[in-house]
Amino acid sequence: MDPPAAASPRRETADPSSAANARREPPDRSAAASPRREPADPSSAADAPAVVALASALGEDPLFASRTLRAFVRDGGLASIPARERKKRIVLRWLLDACFVEDRAYTEPEVNALLAPRHADVAALRRYLVDSGWLTRAGGEYRRPAR
């Protein structure tokens, strides 16, 4: 029997039409390629005075406040809770003005019911509002402090 012939190393030739070698087209970044996003509720033209009032109450730039709210508020609710304190303060103030308009005592179930349509984590929002001083808690009742 003859010894097996040594296999010669086979060289793969690149097929220019193969998917691995195909050139990827850069994404089209023109205005026509991406649909324009509608502004979120707090930054719409109708609510511009409210955003300016909110920003001035906090001593913030109205443009920064508008951009922050546009980034975190979707369809009247919070898409997420900001991690940065400066942005969180703006979002919490917006939440306070949107949910707690009356100057009265709120029970914890009332606070939860008011916050639930805005975000699922009502406990975190409640805690952030109290820790930041936007709400006070005494004897199981929550209140907007006089400012």
Identify which of 28, 30, 52 has the alpha carbon closest to the alpha carbon of residue 42: 52
- Count helices and strands (H / E) in the chain: 5, 5
Q: Which domain holds residue 94?
A: 41-143
pLDDT at position 17, please?
A: 55
Identify which of 129, 137, 140 has the alpha carbon closest to the alpha carbon of residue 107: 140
Evaluate whether residue 59 is within a structural domain: yes
Q: Quick check: helix, strand or coil at residue 82?
A: coil
Q: Quote the number of domains for the chain.
A: 1
Asked if 74 contacts 109 with a C-beta cutoff of 8 angstroms, the reply is no
Evaluate whether residue 16 is within a structural domain: no
Report the percent of the chain where pLDDT is more than 70. Answer: 67
Evaluate whether residue 19 is within a structural domain: no
17-42 pLDDT, tens digit each = 555 555 666 555 554 444 444 444 44
pLDDT at position 50, please?
A: 78
Alpha helices in 47-121 (DSSP H): 48-58, 62-72, 85-99, 108-115
Of residues 130 and 17, the one with the higher pLDDT is 130
